Chains A and B, each alone.
Chain A
Amino acid sequence: MSSSDVPGARLRRSVALVWRTLRSMRTAVILLLMLAAASVVGGTIFPQLPNSAPRVARFMVDHPFWGKALQAAGFFDVFGSWWFALITALLFVSLVACLIPRSRAMIRTARQRPIQARELESFPSYAERRVAASPPEAAGKAASVLRRKRYRVELDERGGAVAAEKGALREVGSLVFHWAFLLLLVAVIFGKGTGYVGHATIVEGSGWTDARLNYDGQLRTGRFFDGGFSGTQITLEDFNDAYRDTGQPMDYRSTLDLANADGSVTRTAEVRINHPVMFNGIRIFQYGYGWAAMVRVAEGNEVLFDGPVILGQDTPKGENPLAQPWIGTVKLPTLRPQVGIALEVFPDAEAYFRSIQTGVPQPMTQDNAPFIDYQVWEGKLVDNSLTGLDTRFMRLTSSGLLGQGWTVNLERGCVVTGTTGALPGALSSVTCPHASGPGVLTMSFPELRQYTTLQISRDASVPYVLGAAILIVLGLLPALYVSRRKVWVRARADGMATILQVGGFSLQRKDRFDEEFAGLVAAVSDAAGPVLDHATEEARAR
């Protein structure tokens, strides 16, 4: 019975085959190209949920069947899909399978001394010189020359033989590069997997606590996230945006009061673009900003809504967003019929007035006599979003202007209190000073504030990722540029003189080695006292 009939042996052979296949460079190249192809799919061909969820949603509406099929196969989240993970894992295994034996071999080589060689004539580079020194002396001189040139040298003085090698750094660099690449993969997966990223919107003067509910859905957690938010308390003291004369933004900065969960550690911090702050294990970045209208809506004396309305923008392509009004909504779902108030806020009435006069849109960067253009809709609220108002099941009942400090009657769209003179002449509003009373829906606008959007993230592995990235670059340079060279020298007596044989080769960058070798031959023979009758040797060396 031959060994091939034993099931265990067959299994072992298949495992060995799979292992050999995984170890081969060809597999690594193919896996790398597959990784590139998968990234093309994720980077370009299909919209991705983490980056452009609205485009995915549109695709799902336009192509319901294909949308579902592609989603099931993970094509809308390629970088989180099982098959991307599979390619990465295979690459990972292939790398490890290749790196372990290579690392072992490198350690083995590092322990070994250079080995002597015979028949130096057969090496690609070879030269002979007659020198005056005795063979042991000549070999010793050659060894010290090579040592000075940073070769690892093994000297057999009695035998008059030297073995030297250089360029082990190439393999070290290559191994450092590949191990660092592995470390990078592990650190990225660990950091993203156990961390979270979210966006916090905070209005000037108010506070916010790092907890799941407060992200309003603007949160992404890693697959292995343990649910532990930091509980950090953030208060926005002040938000400051600066612009150039041309209206281009120059800087945004949020002045924050920070405190940890139990308030035992506090600090103030300024977060600017490109200047994040690290506190209590989370990183806080300046992400966005905008205006928040402080609005109060009352029915008679009963306050229905009182607080900031976070305003956003919906800028047509090609327009300067700063010249556009800010939009937001107040939703009153408890009223029957339900009421939604759409707000268009103009932070700088003067700039807006100039826009109308000159026909050139003026940026509204300052809080300067702000006013609101509102529309009151009645009917059924169907849009759950914070800023949008779906008016398909609603009808417009009134509209008008609301300046800062005014109160308006929402049923008739007229101004109850407030000096309409504060607005530029082109914008006028109807007044109705006696139209307030019990049961009348009114809205007032005490002030405009700014809000900041901060990105909050926790990623414990960032320093490791950075360290791995540095190692990648550091390893890459010797891996590509150092060449491995071996040189041997043998000295034998020839009458009164000594014949010095030098042979060697380079595994990489062979064109450069020729020059280096000629220099080595000259240095070695110079050190041993050259005898100047080597015309024949010159000829032989060629």
Chain B
Amino acid sequence: MTTEQWSQLSSDAFNAALFAYIGAMLVSFAYLAFRKERLHTAATAIGIIGLLANGVSIITRAIAAGRTPWGNMYEYSSLLTFLMVLGYLWIVEARARVRTVGGFVYALAVFTMAMAVSFFYVGPAALMPALNSYWRQIHVTSMIVASSLLGIGCLLTIVYLVKLSSERRSTARLAAQVPPPIMGASVDTSDPSSPPDYAGAGDEPVGNVEQDRRIGLPPSATLDALAYRFIRFGFPVWTFGVICGAIWAQQTWGRYWGWDPKETWSFITWVIFAGYLHARATAGWKGVRAAAVALVGFVSLLITYYAVNLWIGQLHTYAT
């Protein structure tokens, strides 16, 4: 096969993966809404098809370009999506047996791939000389692995916050349930916040049942533990990746650190996730506040990944 054919195959597989992920996302959300076992099986199957197509796209891209397939933002995005979906299917679904958050992960995968096609597409080609370094390979690989782990971790943190607030609402609702009026008083049925008519039965956990039917997410503690697991794994990898980047920068530009925007933002992201890990060990910061720090970290991660290349520029722009 010629380079063009490999390149075409890579693009086709990329599109197939994108559509599969869109499908997996929709079916996963449907599973979350209707809780039919068949939907979950279908979502996982479509997700695996997408993962395979994604893998084919990466490998054929490597053949077309004649080098490791992580030389520009388009290729990073493809690999990042692959690792996120792989990490989700393997760790979250297969090992932690949490099934209901798939839609969110596929949504992030679809977003990453769509951004890659719309803003970063370039044909397969050789790299400029500054990129010919094995430190680059290690640096880029670690950064992508770390991004996928931190990305999933932050996503789970968002789901955790959603679940936590719904749990708190239902607890508050339970607490607010006063004994039903016996005489003289009445329940104002026009007020939507007033308890439904069957709320009178005090022993029935209204809030929890209703909420379980509405959002079938795992308990917040499970989500929190899972999110922590991903971020705890991602943080050292990110640290290692930044250090390898510094070694490469020392070799190439003669300075290991120069506060170039991408460097600065990778540092900011590092500091924020360091803050998250510390916050989890700090009284009064556990739970919601630590989760908020992780969310700030997520925004920082997205800026590090996208904004620097799209708008800010400088040294790392050659990667686009």
By a beta-carbon cutoff of 8 Å, the part of chain A in contact with chain B is 25-26, 28-29, 32-33, 35-36, 39-40, 42-44, 48, 50-52, 79, 188, 197, 244, 246, 248-252, 273-276, 283, 285, 287, 455, 457, 459, 462, 465-466, 469-470, 472-473, 476-477, 480-481, 511
Query: Which residues of chain A are within 8 angstroms of B116 by Cβ–Cβ distance?
Result: none
* Closest residue of A by beta carbon distance from B314: A51
B243-A274 in contact (CB<8A): no
Q: What are 7 pairs between A and B in contact, CB < 8 Å?
A: A39-B268, A42-B264, A248-B125, A274-B248, A287-B253, A476-B239, A511-B225
A44-B261 in contact (CB<8A): yes
Chain A CB count within 10 A is highest, among B133, B272, B275, for B275
B239-A455 in contact (CB<8A): no
B264-A43 in contact (CB<8A): yes
Interface size on B, residues (CB 8 A): 50
From A43, A48, A188, A273, B252 is in contact (CB under 8 Å) with: A273
A472-B126 in contact (CB<8A): no
Of B33-41, B85-93, B107-115, B277-285, the one touching chain A = B277-285
B49 part of interface (Cβ distance < 8 Å):
no
Report the Cα distance A79→B268, complex, angstroms: 13
Minimal beta-carbon separation of A95 from chain B (angstroms): 11
* Closest residue of B by beta carbon distance from A248: B126
Minimal beta-carbon separation of B24 from chain A (angstroms): 29
- Count of A-B contacts judged by CB separation below 8 Å: 119
Report the Cα distance A287→B284, complex, angstroms: 50
Q: Contacts A32-B275, A273-B129, A473-B243 hold; do A51 and B236 have CB atoms under 8 A apart?
A: no
B129-A252 in contact (CB<8A): yes
Query: Which residues of chain B are within 8 angstroms of A29 by Cβ–Cβ distance?
Result: 275, 278-279, 282, 285, 293
B256 part of interface (Cβ distance < 8 Å):
yes
Minimal beta-carbon separation of A243 from chain B (angstroms): 10
Query: Which residues of chain A are within 8 angstroms of B264 by Cβ–Cβ distance?
Result: 39, 42-44
B42 part of interface (Cβ distance < 8 Å):
no
Query: Which residues of chain A are within 8 angstroms of B267 by Cβ–Cβ distance?
Result: 39
Query: Which residues of chain A are within 8 angstroms of B215 by Cβ–Cβ distance?
Result: none
Minimal beta-carbon separation of B221 from chain A (angstroms): 11
By a beta-carbon cutoff of 8 Å, the part of chain B in contact with chain A is 125-126, 128-130, 132-133, 225, 232, 235-236, 239-240, 243, 246-248, 250-261, 264-265, 267-268, 271-272, 274-275, 277-279, 281-282, 284-285, 293, 300, 303, 307, 312, 314
A274-B252 in contact (CB<8A): yes
B253-A39 in contact (CB<8A): no
A457-B254 in contact (CB<8A): yes
* Closest residue of A by beta carbon distance from B274: A32
* Closest residue of A by beta carbon distance from B297: A36
Query: Which residues of chain A are within 8 angstroms of B307 by Cβ–Cβ distance?
Result: 44
* Closest residue of B by beta carbon distance from A25: B282
Report the Cα distance A275→B132, complex, angstroms: 10
Minimal beta-carbon separation of A279 from chain B (angstroms): 13
Given A44-B265, A274-B252, A472-B243, 5 more pairs with CB closer than 8 A: A33-B272, A36-B275, A44-B261, A249-B128, A287-B254
B278-A28 in contact (CB<8A): yes
**Minimum-distance CB pairs A-B, first 6:** A43-B264, A285-B254, A455-B254, A36-B271, A32-B275, A25-B282
A40-B254 in contact (CB<8A): no
* Closest residue of A by beta carbon distance from B311: A44
Report the Cα distance A293→B78, complex, angstroms: 46
B300-A36 in contact (CB<8A): yes
* Closest residue of A by beta carbon distance from B260: A51
B129-A274 in contact (CB<8A): yes
Minimal beta-carbon separation of B275 from chain A (angstroms): 4
Query: Which residues of chain A are within 8 angstroms of B282 by Cβ–Cβ distance?
Result: 25-26, 29
Query: Which residues of chain A are within 8 angstroms of B254 by Cβ–Cβ distance?
Result: 197, 276, 283, 285, 287, 455, 457
A36-B129 in contact (CB<8A): no
From B129, B246, B251, B274, A249 is in contact (CB under 8 Å) with: B129
Query: Which residues of chain A are within 8 angstroms of B279 by Cβ–Cβ distance?
Result: 29
Query: Which residues of chain B are within 8 angstroms of A42 by Cβ–Cβ distance?
Result: 259, 264
Chain A CB count within 10 A is highest, among B252, B254, B275, B278, for B254
Q: Contacts A465-B256, A473-B243 hold; do A32 and B132 have CB atoms under 8 A apart?
A: no
Report the Cα distance A39→B126, complex, angstroms: 34
From A79, A244, A476, B235 is in contact (CB under 8 Å) with: A476
Report the Cα distance A473→B242, complex, angstroms: 11
Report the Cα distance A273→B248, complex, angstroms: 11
From A25, A50, A473, B259 is in contact (CB under 8 Å) with: A50
Query: Which residues of chain B are within 8 angstroms of A459 by Cβ–Cβ distance?
Result: 255
Minimal beta-carbon separation of A305 from chain B (angstroms): 33
Query: Which residues of chain B are within 8 angstroms of A473 by Cβ–Cβ distance?
Result: 236, 239-240, 243
Q: Contacts A43-B268, A274-B133, A476-B236 hold; do A285 and B259 have CB atoms under 8 A apart?
A: no
A43-B265 in contact (CB<8A): yes
B271-A32 in contact (CB<8A): yes
Report the Cα distance A42→B265, complex, angstroms: 10
Chain B CB count within 10 A is highest, among A29, A249, A465, A477, for A29
B272-A26 in contact (CB<8A): no
Chain B CB count within 10 A is highest, among A32, A249, A476, for A32
A469-B129 in contact (CB<8A): no
* Closest residue of B by beta carbon distance from A40: B268
Query: Which residues of chain A are within 8 angstroms of B314 by Cβ–Cβ distance?
Result: 51-52
From B126, B253, B265, A285 is in contact (CB under 8 Å) with: B253
A36-B272 in contact (CB<8A): yes
From B236, B248, B272, A477 is in contact (CB under 8 Å) with: B236
* Closest residue of A by beta carbon distance from B313: A52
A51-B258 in contact (CB<8A): yes
B259-A43 in contact (CB<8A): yes
Query: Which residues of chain B are within 8 angstroms of A39 by Cβ–Cβ distance?
Result: 264, 267-268, 271
* Closest residue of A by beta carbon distance from B130: A273
A51-B129 in contact (CB<8A): no
Query: Which residues of chain A are within 8 angstroms of B128 by Cβ–Cβ distance?
Result: 248-249
Report the Cα distance A273→B279, complex, angstroms: 42
Minimal beta-carbon separation of A129 from chain B (angstroms): 31
Report the Cα distance A197→B284, complex, angstroms: 46
Report the Cα distance A33→B128, complex, angstroms: 36
Report the Cα distance A397→B21, complex, angstroms: 66
* Closest residue of B by beta carbon distance from A80: B259
A48-B259 in contact (CB<8A): yes
B239-A472 in contact (CB<8A): yes
A274-B258 in contact (CB<8A): no
Report the Cα distance A328→B63, complex, angstroms: 43
* Closest residue of A by beta carbon distance from B307: A44
* Closest residue of B by beta carbon distance from A31: B275
Report the Cα distance A198→B306, complex, angstroms: 31
Query: Which residues of chain B are within 8 angstroms of A48 by Cβ–Cβ distance?
Result: 259
* Closest residue of B by beta carbon distance from A480: B232
Minimal beta-carbon separation of A188 from chain B (angstroms): 7
Minimal beta-carbon separation of B54 from chain A (angstroms): 28
Minimal beta-carbon separation of B251 from chain A (angstroms): 5
Report the Cα distance A79→B274, complex, angstroms: 20
